């Protein structure tokens, strides 16, 4: 088994945090995304989408999508549970994980991809068509990122963790998104006391150091 990874990138970090929470050690291969390593013929032969992370199983089958990779490991190593236990909790984790990803991480990515010089002609990830950056899309994404921060703080006013009363995959996606937002100079707003309380707790976990 081999995990194609990039140490600085937010999506692979979600998988590494998840593995650390489970205490699972998987060999990693570093991919240089800014240098185009994910678009090399060798990598595209493994994952034609050209995105990272990709997990290659011992028999050569692959899994991409960070959450799909995490689900694979959850099925193999159910404890500690990070995707929910009963029907209601599983639905809550799914609900909040998707909100953190679609409303939060995608918004931050929209700012980053449309402003970072290294991605001037790479407005979409991986082997997607070459797209020029869009200042308008960057600005819309910035507005949506700030809106996501507001919703996160409101959620954490009512809940100890993002999805329920304990740490789950939704917290991993949310924490990685908060850290990713710093890349585009958006921090946790000063008056978001609930997010600050939660962030101090989740970022203090040993798994967050990865």
In angstroms, the CA 177 to CA 163 distance is 15
Q: Is residue 125 a contact residue for ligand GSH (CB under 6 A)?
A: yes
> Residues 6 or more apart from 153 whose CB is under 8 A from it?
189, 192, 193, 194, 195
- Of 53, 64, 148, the C-alpha closest to 99 is 148
- Tokens representing 196 are 């600050």
Residue 50: exposed, middle, or buried by beta-carbon count in 10 A (0-12, 13-18, 19+)?
buried
Report the residue from 52, 169, 172, 184 that binds ligand GSH according to the rule CB under 6 A.
Answer: 52
141 binds ligand GSH (CB under 6 A): no
From CA 117, how far away is CA 113, in angstroms rounded? 9
- Choose which of 65, 94, 103, 179 interacts with ligand GSH (CB under 6 A): 65
Residue closer to ligand GSH by CB (options 68, 157) is 68
Beta bridge partners of 122: 131
Closest to ligand GSH by CB, 51 vs 162, is: 51
- Asked if 11 interacts with ligand GSH (CB under 6 A), we say yes
CB nearer to ligand GSH: pick between 36 and 189: 36
Of residues 122 and 155, the one with the C-beta less far from ligand GSH: 122
Q: Which residues are at the interface with ligand GSH (CB under 6 A)?
A: 9-11, 33, 38, 51-53, 65-66, 122, 125-126
């Amino acid at each position: 088994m081999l995990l194609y990874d990039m140490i600085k990138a937010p999506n692979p970090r979600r998988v590494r945090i998840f593995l650390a929470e489970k205490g699972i050690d998987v060999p990693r291969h570093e991919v240089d995304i800014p240098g185009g390593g994910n678009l090399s013929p060798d990598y595209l032969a493994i994952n034609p989408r050209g995105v990272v992370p990709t997990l290659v199983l011992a028999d050569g089958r692959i899994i991409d999508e960070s959450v799909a990779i995490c689900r694979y490991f959850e099925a193999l190593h159910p404890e500690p549970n990070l995707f929910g236990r009963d029907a209601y909790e599983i639905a809550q984790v799914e609900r909040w994980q998707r909100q953190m990803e679609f409303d939060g991480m995608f918004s931050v990515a929209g700012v980053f991809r449309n402003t970072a010089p290294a991605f001037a002609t790479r407005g979409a990830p991986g082997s997607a068509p070459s797209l020029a950056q869009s200042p308008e899309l960057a600005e819309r994404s910035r507005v949506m990122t700030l809106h996501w921060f507001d919703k996160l703080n409101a959620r954490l006013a009512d809940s100890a963790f993002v999805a329920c009363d304990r740490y789950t995959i939704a917290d991993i996606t949310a924490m990685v998104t908060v850290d990713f937002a710093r890349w585009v100079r958006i921090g946790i707003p000063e008056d978001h006391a609930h997010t600050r309380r939660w962030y101090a707790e989740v970022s203090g976990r040993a798994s967050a150091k990865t």
